[in-house]
Structure 1
Amino acid sequence: MALTADGKVFSWGDGEMGQLGHGDNRSYNTPKMIEGLQGKHVRDIACGSGYSTAITSNGELYTWGQGHRGQLGHGDCCSVSKPKQVRELEGHRVVGVACGLRLPHTLAVTDSGTLWSWGDGAFGKLGIERTQFAHTPQKVQFGDHQGVAQLHCGVHFSLILTKDGSIYTWLATSDN
């Protein structure tokens, strides 16, 4: 995917899972604007295994593509081939998002510093009590912090860097 300076999103490549956002599962050899985001003025994008995300300038989060592990955050495990707003985060201004690979999960942070996670919870990587799947965003409680600066979703872990330089990670260890 590519994001232009004026907030338009283009995608191309393998679209087998609907991750290109064009309403189909076709592949495209050249960049094509994602019509479902037209007029939304997107400020950030991220891609995971078979799915994609976009944050608008007013903090709305859209997801699309493969949803078999709940990683889209729409309350189910369904795939969608066009951008769909994550309704659970309405009323929150999303400022950052990260997408996982292979056993996908998603992290999002709001302007208030609240961290949310959903999708595949294997290895404790969601940072919540649930270890299987979370089909909607779940609030993650962690330490006394000054806000999230960076997010990262690994295959078996989640990691955040806070604005005060602290690092938090969620994963399973042999001591669990």
Structure 2
Amino acid sequence: MAEHGETPADEEEEQQVWSWGAGTDGQLGTAKLQDELLPQLLSLTSLPSISMLACGGAHVIALTSDGKVFTWGRGSSGQLGHGDILNITLPKLVSFFDGYVITQAAAGWSHSGFVSDSGCLFTCGNGSFGQLGHGDNMSLRTPAKVSYFSNESVKMVACGMRHSLVLLAGNQVCGFGSGKRGQLGFTSDGTKSVNLPCVVSGLKDVEVTRISANGDHSAAISADGQFFSWGRGFCAGPDVQTPQCLPSSLSFRKVAVGWNHALLLTVDGEVFKLGNTLNKQPEKQQLQIDSSEALLAKVSDFDGVKVLQIAAGAEHSAAVTENGKVKTWGWGEHGQLGLGNTNDQTSPQLVSVGSIDLRTKEIKVYCGSGFTYAVRRKQGLSSSPTSS
């Protein structure tokens, strides 16, 4: 996420936003209710500079560089936070957050979470499994502060299919919502769901820096590059009730979780995959409890170029390389790979999102369950003189 005030006064930042894939609920921001097989350059004049996107089942949350919140797409559970259950085809400001600065957000299948600069957590949308964390199973059409964290400082929220994870300033991780597959990380007591945050066990002495959730999976990355996962088992393995560290000599810095797979980005810019997206399980990924390293498969189709960012949808994956290229692979039924067709791809394929030029500052990709976004920032010099 971009830091506030990082653009010098004598430079102006241009922004391009592209979307593709499933779009029948308005989640592509094209003002059309249809799938798109190729990247669409959006005209988002109402949306200022984007600091981050969060893409869920069929809705999108955009945070601006000044901490405002816009949402669009499917709103049938109140996940857009506008006080109604309507779908919206174009970004709309969430007026509830007037006076707040929102710095991080997450989108689940049909619920949303928002973190403010003061460390408060807000949630809205489907609460039928307790995934909003308010002590009940009510759904909310407008964001509400999670009072459980009134005396805590929340750093990050992650939203899965029916559960939520929260990372606190003291590196503690909490979970709430559906726990049927172990995704809340509690002891195996048969808990199906909880509607108040509970501490995830097994991470007490771990300095967690990132959390991720999707489907019935939960994951975390530690400061020393270790990967922990819990919830539904990968590669047809058993469910995991408490966080398990993947024994590996690799050092990881980012994780992106899908419904049946996880992507891991190493500090050296290499990508590894855990699980599968096309229901084709190579023998090397068959579960070996005493040989977890064998679960990992290197995604080696980047021609030796380092990868800077990864993202995972329900059944597809995306990555950005250090030379500014966007690549996608996995399930393609809705066009979410952006290749002009609905074919599946077993290896990363280049997506055309305009030409790369010297002014390209960065490109980021974001995956919803069956759709993808790319945001490109370009640096353009203004007419004001450059200070010496």
TM-score (ref. length: structure 1):
0.93
Q: How much is the aligned-residue C-alpha RMSD, in angstroms?
A: 1.7
Q: State the partner residue of 2:110.
A: 50
Q: State the partner residue of 1:109.
A: 167
Aligned counterparts of 2:159 and 2:230: Cα–Cα separation in 1: 15
Aligned counterpart in structure 2 of residue 125 of structure 1, from 183, 196, 213: 183
Range moving further from structure 2, 104-113 or 134-143: 134-143
Aligned counterparts of 1:79 and 1:64: Cα–Cα separation in 2: 7
| Structure 1 unaligned regions, length at least 5 | none
Q: Is the 8 A contact 1:145 1:162 kept in 2?
A: no
Please list the CA deviations of residues 86-135 of structure 1 after superposition, one character each: whole Å capped at 9, or x if unmatched: 1111111000111002xx11000111101100000011111113521010
Aligned counterparts of 2:180 and 2:196: Cα–Cα separation in 1: 16
Secondary structure of the corresponding residue to residue 152 of structure 1: strand
Q: 1:90 to 1:13 in 2, by over 3 A?
A: same
Please list the CA deviations of residues 12-45 of structure 1 after superposition, one character each: whole Å capped at 9, or x if unmatched: 1111111110000011222111111111100011
Please list, as runs of the form range in 1=range in 2, the aligned pairs for 1:21-40 lying within 5 A after superposition.
21-40=81-100
Q: CA deviation at 1:145?
A: 3.7
Q: 1:165 to 1:144 in 2, by over 3 A?
A: farther
Aligned counterparts of 2:123 and 2:74: Cα–Cα separation in 1: 17
Secondary structure of the corresponding residue to residue 36 of structure 1: helix
Secondary structure of the corresponding residue to residue 96 of structure 2: helix
Q: CA deviation at 1:150?
A: 1.4
Aligned counterpart in structure 2 of residue 18 of structure 1, from 62, 71, 78: 78
Q: 1:174 to 1:13 in 2, by over 3 A?
A: closer
Q: 1:19 to 1:174 in 2, by over 3 A?
A: closer
- Amino acid in the other structure paired with 2:126: Q
Q: 1:3 to 1:175 in 2, by over 3 A?
A: closer
Secondary structure of the corresponding residue to residue 181 of structure 2: helix
Aligned counterparts of 1:55 and 1:156: Cα–Cα separation in 2: 22
Please list the CA deviations of residues 40-79 of structure 1 after superposition, one character each: whole Å capped at 9, or x if unmatched: 1000111001111110000000000011111000111100
Q: Is the 8 A contact 1:47 1:53 kept in 2?
A: yes
Aligned residues: 174
Q: State the partner residue of 1:59.
A: 119
Aligned counterpart in structure 1 of residue 207 of structure 2, from 147, 160, 174: 147
Aligned counterparts of 1:41 and 1:83: Cα–Cα separation in 2: 14
- Amino acid in the other structure paired with 1:10: F
Q: Is the 8 A contact 2:122 2:144 kept in 1?
A: yes
Does 2:71 match 1:6?
no
Range moving further from structure 2, 122-131 or 78-87: 122-131
Q: Percent identity?
A: 34
Range moving further from structure 2, 135-144 or 14-23: 135-144
Aligned counterparts of 1:175 and 1:168: Cα–Cα separation in 2: 11
Does 2:138 match 1:78?
yes
Aligned counterpart in structure 2 of residue 88 of structure 1, from 145, 148, 151: 148
| Structure 2 unaligned regions, length at least 5 | 1-60, 233-237, 242-388
- Amino acid in the other structure paired with 1:40: Y
- Amino acid in the other structure paired with 1:84: A
Does 2:216 match 1:156?
yes
Work out which of the two has the higher radius of gyration on C-alpha atoms and give 1 or 2. Answer: 2
Q: Is the 8 A contact 2:208 2:223 kept in 1?
A: yes
Q: CA deviation at 1:174?
A: 6.8
Q: CA deviation at 1:157?
A: 2.3
